[in-house]
Amino acid sequence: MPRFYLPVTASLLIQIVFAFAPGQEQRKMVEWANHRNINTGEITEPWSKQIDVLELEEILIGGRVVTIGDPVLAGIDWINELTFRVKNISAEDITFVQITVTLPEVTRSPQIPFLAPCGNRENQTCLRPGEQVDLKIPKGKLYDWVKEQVAKEKAVSVINRAAIDMVFVTTRKGGQVMAGCFKTADSRNTCPHKYAPN
């Protein structure tokens, strides 16, 4: 074999080994959940509504900013590394905020809550006007439960998509709203089925 082929062959072998190595990063994607009715094709409330008191500033996986719909390289536990950075863009205090995520590749997907490390439903302030907070899967055994639920159908390592299913917000004055969409700072992340008020 000519000598100039050796470095090329060695390089190809290294790439193949790393491509199949356990724990290798794979392409993962965050998307908006599809709430379209399979019979009518319509998206009804509350899924079509958009929450306007809260704004999605960034989505991060392992500290790296990602865009909805764009596949990015991430590890096996990428769902546990997912973070939603949100901002209170209203004039009211927000006392509770939750984003619920589902996994479209699983027939019976667990409802995965992403919560702020502040506030509760008993009128404690979580987000004052203009403040930001990161929503994550609560620490503890919740992620272990998610993996157990997914494992009933497939290995968590092959899950490549996570969908923003529902957003729930409570304000100081007692207003509660649940919707399938909320405002986004980056137009590339805009919810495709948001309700346009008259």
Residue 15 domain-assigned? no
pLDDT at 188 over 90: yes
Confidence at 4, pLDDT banded by 50, 70, 90: very low
Contact criterion met (CB below 8 Å) for 45 and 177 = no
Residue 148 domain-assigned? yes
Residue 145 domain-assigned? yes
Residue 3 domain-assigned? no
Residue 196 domain-assigned? no
Residue 4 domain-assigned? no
Residue 194 domain-assigned? no
Residue 102 domain-assigned? yes
* pLDDT tens digits, 60-108: 999 999 999 999 999 999 999 999 999 999 999 999 999 999 999 999 9
Domain count, the chain: 1
Strands 50-61, 181-184: pairing kind: parallel
* pLDDT tens digits, 158-184: 999 999 999 999 988 868 889 999 999
Instruction: Give percent above pLDDT 90 in the chain.
Output: 62
Domain assignment of residue 131, given as a range: 24-189
pTM, 2 dp: 0.82
